[in-house]
Protein backbone atom coordinates (compact mmCIF):
# COMPACT_ATOMS: atom_id res chain seq x y z
CA UNK A 1 0.00 0.00 0.00
CA UNK A 2 1.14 3.62 -0.51
CA UNK A 3 2.90 5.43 2.38
CA UNK A 4 1.02 6.78 5.39
CA UNK A 5 -0.37 10.29 5.05
CA UNK A 6 -1.69 11.94 8.19
CA UNK A 7 -4.12 14.78 7.59
CA UNK A 8 -5.36 16.74 10.63
CA UNK A 9 -8.80 18.24 10.00
CA UNK A 10 -8.73 21.95 10.66
CA UNK A 11 -12.46 21.77 11.43
CA UNK A 12 -11.42 21.13 15.03
CA UNK A 13 -8.96 24.03 15.15
CA UNK A 14 -9.44 27.58 16.40
CA UNK A 15 -10.67 29.31 13.23
CA UNK A 16 -9.58 32.69 14.56
CA UNK A 17 -5.99 31.46 14.61
CA UNK A 18 -6.08 29.26 11.53
CA UNK A 19 -2.66 30.09 10.08
CA UNK A 20 -0.92 29.41 13.42
CA UNK A 21 -2.87 26.20 13.95
CA UNK A 22 -1.88 24.95 10.49
CA UNK A 23 1.76 25.81 11.02
CA UNK A 24 1.72 24.04 14.37
CA UNK A 25 0.34 20.84 12.82
CA UNK A 26 2.88 20.85 10.00
CA UNK A 27 5.69 21.42 12.50
CA UNK A 28 4.37 18.47 14.52
CA UNK A 29 4.53 16.14 11.52
CA UNK A 30 1.25 16.49 9.63
CA UNK A 31 1.59 15.51 5.95
CA UNK A 32 -1.56 17.21 4.68
CA UNK A 33 -4.13 19.62 6.05
CA UNK A 34 -7.72 18.44 5.65
CA UNK A 35 -10.16 21.28 4.95
CA UNK A 36 -13.85 20.50 5.54
CA UNK A 37 -16.11 22.54 3.29
CA UNK A 38 -19.81 22.35 4.24
CA UNK A 39 -22.61 24.21 2.53
CA UNK A 40 -25.64 23.71 4.79
CA UNK A 41 -27.36 21.75 2.00
CA UNK A 42 -25.45 18.54 1.46
CA UNK A 43 -24.82 18.41 5.20
CA UNK A 44 -26.64 20.24 8.02
CA UNK A 45 -23.68 22.44 8.90
CA UNK A 46 -21.86 25.46 7.47
CA UNK A 47 -18.10 25.95 7.61
CA UNK A 48 -15.87 27.69 5.11
CA UNK A 49 -15.16 28.13 1.43
CA UNK A 50 -12.52 29.11 -1.09
CA UNK A 51 -11.79 32.58 0.42
CA UNK A 52 -10.44 30.96 3.58
CA UNK A 53 -8.32 28.58 1.51
CA UNK A 54 -6.91 31.54 -0.41
CA UNK A 55 -6.01 33.30 2.84
CA UNK A 56 -4.44 30.17 4.25
CA UNK A 57 -2.40 29.60 1.10
CA UNK A 58 -0.43 32.76 1.86
CA UNK A 59 0.70 31.28 5.17
CA UNK A 60 1.51 27.67 4.32
CA UNK A 61 3.00 25.51 1.58
CA UNK A 62 1.24 22.45 3.02
CA UNK A 63 -0.87 20.19 0.82
CA UNK A 64 -4.45 21.43 1.20
CA UNK A 65 -6.83 18.48 0.95
CA UNK A 66 -10.26 20.05 0.47
CA UNK A 67 -13.23 17.84 1.31
CA UNK A 68 -16.28 19.33 -0.37
CA UNK A 69 -19.48 18.38 1.43
CA UNK A 70 -21.61 20.42 -0.95
CA UNK A 71 -24.31 19.91 -3.51
CA UNK A 72 -23.28 20.84 -7.08
CA UNK A 73 -19.53 20.54 -6.33
CA UNK A 74 -18.74 21.51 -9.93
CA UNK A 75 -19.71 25.10 -9.06
CA UNK A 76 -16.65 25.50 -6.82
CA UNK A 77 -13.82 23.93 -8.82
CA UNK A 78 -12.53 27.18 -10.32
CA UNK A 79 -12.63 29.07 -7.04
CA UNK A 80 -10.74 26.38 -5.16
CA UNK A 81 -8.13 26.08 -7.91
CA UNK A 82 -7.59 29.82 -7.84
CA UNK A 83 -7.41 29.76 -4.05
CA UNK A 84 -4.52 27.30 -4.21
CA UNK A 85 -6.19 24.03 -3.17
CA UNK A 86 -4.09 20.95 -3.97
CA UNK A 87 -6.92 18.45 -4.02
CA UNK A 88 -10.68 18.44 -4.23
CA UNK A 89 -12.53 15.46 -2.86
CA UNK A 90 -16.20 15.60 -3.78
CA UNK A 91 -19.07 13.34 -2.81
CA UNK A 92 -20.23 10.78 -5.33
CA UNK A 93 -23.78 11.24 -3.98
CA UNK A 94 -23.68 14.99 -4.69
CA UNK A 95 -22.20 14.75 -8.17
CA UNK A 96 -24.91 12.35 -9.28
CA UNK A 97 -27.60 14.98 -8.68
CA UNK A 98 -28.74 17.62 -6.22
CA UNK A 99 -31.23 15.40 -4.37
CA UNK A 100 -30.16 13.43 -1.30
CA UNK A 101 -31.17 10.13 -2.90
CA UNK A 102 -29.87 10.72 -6.41
CA UNK A 103 -27.01 8.29 -5.89
CA UNK A 104 -29.52 5.45 -6.21
CA UNK A 105 -29.43 6.14 -9.95
CA UNK A 106 -25.73 5.22 -10.10
CA UNK A 107 -24.71 1.86 -11.54
CA UNK A 108 -21.66 -0.06 -10.34
CA UNK A 109 -20.58 -0.95 -13.86
CA UNK A 110 -21.20 2.33 -15.61
CA UNK A 111 -19.58 5.68 -14.81
CA UNK A 112 -22.11 8.49 -14.39
CA UNK A 113 -21.38 11.27 -16.93
CA UNK A 114 -21.69 14.08 -14.36
CA UNK A 115 -19.23 12.36 -12.05
CA UNK A 116 -16.80 11.78 -14.92
CA UNK A 117 -17.08 15.45 -15.90
CA UNK A 118 -16.37 16.51 -12.34
CA UNK A 119 -13.23 14.34 -12.22
CA UNK A 120 -11.97 15.78 -15.50
CA UNK A 121 -12.82 19.31 -14.37
CA UNK A 122 -10.83 19.06 -11.15
CA UNK A 123 -7.76 17.74 -12.97
CA UNK A 124 -8.09 20.27 -15.78
CA UNK A 125 -8.00 22.94 -13.08
CA UNK A 126 -4.66 21.54 -11.92
CA UNK A 127 -5.74 19.71 -8.77
CA UNK A 128 -5.75 16.12 -7.59
CA UNK A 129 -9.17 14.52 -7.37
CA UNK A 130 -10.78 12.42 -4.68
CA UNK A 131 -14.16 10.68 -4.60
CA UNK A 132 -15.96 10.50 -1.24
CA UNK A 133 -18.55 7.97 -0.12
CA UNK A 134 -21.03 8.50 2.70
CA UNK A 135 -21.41 5.60 5.15
CA UNK A 136 -24.50 4.17 3.43
CA UNK A 137 -23.14 4.36 -0.13
CA UNK A 138 -21.97 1.00 -1.52
CA UNK A 139 -18.23 0.96 -2.14
CA UNK A 140 -18.73 -0.83 -5.47
CA UNK A 141 -20.08 2.43 -6.92
CA UNK A 142 -16.59 3.94 -6.73
CA UNK A 143 -14.89 1.13 -8.63
CA UNK A 144 -15.56 2.22 -12.25
CA UNK A 145 -14.00 5.64 -11.64
CA UNK A 146 -10.87 4.14 -10.13
CA UNK A 147 -10.65 1.52 -12.87
CA UNK A 148 -10.73 4.22 -15.50
CA UNK A 149 -8.01 6.20 -13.74
CA UNK A 150 -10.31 9.15 -13.12
CA UNK A 151 -9.53 9.60 -9.42
CA UNK A 152 -6.38 9.78 -7.29
CA UNK A 153 -8.07 8.91 -4.01
CA UNK A 154 -11.25 7.42 -2.58
CA UNK A 155 -12.51 8.75 0.76
CA UNK A 156 -14.42 6.24 2.86
CA UNK A 157 -16.45 8.16 5.45
CA UNK A 158 -16.54 6.49 8.85
CA UNK A 159 -19.07 8.95 10.28
CA UNK A 160 -22.09 10.68 8.74
CA UNK A 161 -20.52 13.84 7.26
CA UNK A 162 -21.36 17.16 8.90
CA UNK A 163 -19.64 17.35 12.26
CA UNK A 164 -16.37 16.63 14.00
CA UNK A 165 -16.18 14.61 17.18
CA UNK A 166 -18.55 11.77 16.24
CA UNK A 167 -18.02 8.06 16.96
CA UNK A 168 -16.09 5.90 14.49
CA UNK A 169 -18.28 3.46 12.51
CA UNK A 170 -15.98 0.45 12.57
CA UNK A 171 -18.02 -1.62 10.09
CA UNK A 172 -17.59 1.07 7.42
CA UNK A 173 -13.83 0.64 7.48
CA UNK A 174 -14.38 -2.70 5.74
CA UNK A 175 -15.20 -0.74 2.57
CA UNK A 176 -11.52 0.20 2.40
CA UNK A 177 -10.58 -3.48 2.22
CA UNK A 178 -12.69 -4.00 -0.91
CA UNK A 179 -10.82 -1.18 -2.64
CA UNK A 180 -7.38 -2.17 -1.37
CA UNK A 181 -7.80 -5.70 -2.71
CA UNK A 182 -8.53 -4.37 -6.19
CA UNK A 183 -6.20 -1.36 -6.19
CA UNK A 184 -2.85 -1.83 -4.39
CA UNK A 185 -1.61 1.68 -5.25
CA UNK A 186 -4.78 3.71 -4.66
CA UNK A 187 -4.80 6.43 -2.00
CA UNK A 188 -7.56 5.36 0.39
CA UNK A 189 -8.61 7.97 2.91
CA UNK A 190 -10.71 7.41 6.02
CA UNK A 191 -12.42 10.30 7.79
CA UNK A 192 -14.50 10.43 10.95
CA UNK A 193 -13.83 9.28 14.50
CA UNK A 194 -10.21 8.33 13.80
CA UNK A 195 -7.95 8.28 16.86
CA UNK A 196 -5.13 6.06 18.12
CA UNK A 197 -7.81 3.81 19.66
CA UNK A 198 -9.76 3.33 16.40
CA UNK A 199 -7.22 3.70 13.60
CA UNK A 200 -6.01 0.08 13.66
CA UNK A 201 -9.28 -1.15 12.20
CA UNK A 202 -9.02 1.29 9.29
CA UNK A 203 -5.32 0.65 8.76
CA UNK A 204 -5.86 -3.13 8.75
CA UNK A 205 -8.49 -2.64 6.05
CA UNK A 206 -5.87 -0.92 3.91
CA UNK A 207 -6.48 2.78 4.42
CA UNK A 208 -3.32 4.90 4.15
CA UNK A 209 -4.60 8.49 4.38
CA UNK A 210 -5.86 9.19 7.89
CA UNK A 211 -7.96 12.25 8.67
CA UNK A 212 -8.33 13.16 12.33
CA UNK A 213 -9.84 16.31 13.79
CA UNK A 214 -10.83 16.14 17.44
CA UNK A 215 -8.28 13.43 18.29
CA UNK A 216 -5.40 15.60 17.08
CA UNK A 217 -6.53 19.10 18.07
CA UNK A 218 -7.94 17.90 21.38
CA UNK A 219 -4.72 16.17 22.42
CA UNK A 220 -2.32 17.59 24.98
CA UNK A 221 0.44 16.68 22.53
CA UNK A 222 -0.89 16.48 18.96
CA UNK A 223 2.55 15.43 17.73
CA UNK A 224 2.30 12.19 19.67
CA UNK A 225 -1.12 11.44 18.19
CA UNK A 226 0.10 12.15 14.66
CA UNK A 227 3.00 9.76 15.28
CA UNK A 228 0.70 7.05 16.69
CA UNK A 229 -1.62 7.30 13.70
CA UNK A 230 1.35 7.01 11.35
CA UNK A 231 2.74 3.98 13.14
CA UNK A 232 -0.58 2.18 12.89
CA UNK A 233 -0.61 2.58 9.10
CA UNK A 234 3.05 1.68 8.73
CA UNK A 235 2.81 -1.40 10.99
C1 LIG B 1 -16.90 15.28 9.14
C2 LIG B 1 -15.64 15.79 8.52
C3 LIG B 1 -14.42 15.30 9.18
C4 LIG B 1 -14.28 15.77 10.61
C5 LIG B 1 -13.59 14.69 11.35
O6 LIG B 1 -17.98 15.64 8.37
O7 LIG B 1 -15.58 15.40 7.16
O8 LIG B 1 -13.26 15.61 8.43
O9 LIG B 1 -13.52 16.94 10.75
O10 LIG B 1 -13.57 15.02 12.71
P11 LIG B 1 -13.22 13.91 13.79
O12 LIG B 1 -11.85 13.41 13.50
O13 LIG B 1 -13.32 14.68 15.07
O14 LIG B 1 -14.26 12.82 13.66
ZN1 LIG C 1 -13.58 15.65 6.12
Ligand 1 close to Cβ of residue 130 (< 6 A): no
Atom of ligand 1 nearest to the CA of 162: 6
On whether ipTM exceeds 0.95, the answer is: yes
Would you state the torsion angle of the CA atoms of residues 180, 186, 187, 188, taken in this order, to the nearest 10 degrees? -30
- Range list of β-strands (E), 160-222: 187-191, 209-212
Query: Is residue 12 marked as binding?
Result: no
Atom of ligand 1 nearest to the CA of 214: 13
Distance between CA 140 and CA 130 in Å, rounded? 15
**Helices 50-57 and 18-27: crossing angle, nearest 10°?**
60
pLDDT at position 221, please?
Answer: 98
Ordered mean pLDDT values, 10 residues apiece, the chain (235 residues): 97 98 98 98 97 98 98 97 98 87 83 95 98 96 97 98 98 97 98 98 98 98 98 94
pLDDT at position 72, please?
Answer: 95
Ligand 1 close to Cβ of residue 222 (< 6 A): no
pLDDT at position 191, please?
Answer: 98
- The total number of structural domains in the chain stands at 1
CB 153 within 8 A of CB 130: yes
pLDDT at position 169, please?
Answer: 98
pLDDT at position 105, please?
Answer: 81
Distance between CA 190 and CA 168 in Å, rounded? 10
pLDDT at position 108, please?
Answer: 83
Query: Is residue 191 marked as binding?
Result: yes
- Cβ-based neighbours of 89, under 8 Å, separated by 6 or more: 65, 66, 67, 68, 129, 130, 131, 132, 153, 155, 189
Give the domain CATH number at 75.
3.20.20.70
Domain span holding position 153: 5-234
Distance between CA 189 and CA 57 in Å, rounded? 23
Amino acid sequence: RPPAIIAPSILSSDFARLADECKRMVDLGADWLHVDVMDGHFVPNLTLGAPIVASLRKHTDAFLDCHLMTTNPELWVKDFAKAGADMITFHLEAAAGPGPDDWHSLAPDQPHPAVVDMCHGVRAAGMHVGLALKPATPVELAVPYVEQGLVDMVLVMTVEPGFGGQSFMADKAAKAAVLRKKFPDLLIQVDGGLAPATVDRAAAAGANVIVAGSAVFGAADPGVVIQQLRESVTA
